[in-house]
Amino acid sequence: MDDKSERLKTNEEIIEELTKDLESSCIKENDNYTTSKDNIQESKNGNLSNDCNERIKRNSDDDNWETKCKGDANHEKDNMDEEILKEREQNLSEEEKETLKAEAEKYKNEGNDLFKRDEYLEAISVYTQGIQTCPLAYSKERSILYANRAAAKLKCLDRESAISDCTKAIELNPSYVKVYARRARLYEETEKLDEALEDYKKILTF
């Protein structure tokens, strides 16, 4: 076995040890914004979310679960160039920005309702509308939209795109604990163990 394989094996062992305490993949996927340790503590106490239990149940049956996402799951066009958003917002008043923020909140709530009904592709589309509507100044709100869209993409097993959305959410809010946990699990599922380990370590610093 070469040095790289040995290093990856070591990371697997470390990740397993960390997740025994964190159970971080079981943090409930919703739109609640948090920077506290409450969700991590909930998992430590063994109170796992229903969504987590469902995910454990379907781990060996991903192909069947993917039928929940009927239609075209190609999300190449789900991002708007932020330069376009900057240009759009240059001449907006604060009142107009607040109006756009309120519209984005409606998209978020609509996306959440679709998510709860297992309509994940539709939820992705609506979250994208929210991202394209919400002014750049509202980093917290935009971070939540990206995080929620990542959760919907994860349900569709679109892991690489979900990782990208998690990364964007973290860029907008570096203290978004739940998204570090979600991205760490995604890194594990895509065999990016070095990256997963770094995210798990980061969670322990909060």
Phi, then psi, of 161 in degrees rounded to 5: -70, -35
Q: Which of 26-40, 120-134, 177-191 has the lowest mean pLDDT?
A: 26-40
Mean pLDDT of 7-15: 63
pLDDT at 196: 95
Q: What is the CATH number of domain 79-204?
A: 1.25.40.10
Structure tokens at 189: 């599922």
- Does residue 37 have a pLDDT over 80? no
In tens, the pLDDT along 40-72 reads 333 333 333 444 344 434 443 444 444 456 554
pLDDT at 82: 81
The answer for residues whose C-beta is within 8 angstroms of residue 110's C-beta and 6 or more apart is 126
- Domain ranges for the chain, please list them: 79-204
Phi, then psi, of 169 in degrees rounded to 5: -60, -40
**From the CB of residue 148, how many other CB atoms can be counted at a distance below 10 Å?**
25
For 176, which DSSP code? -
In tens, the pLDDT along 105-122 reads 999 999 999 999 999 999
pTM of the model: 0.70
Scan for tokens 């109170």, then name that residue. 47
The alpha carbon dihedral of 189, 191, 195, 201 has a sign of positive
Q: Which amino acid is at 110?
A: E
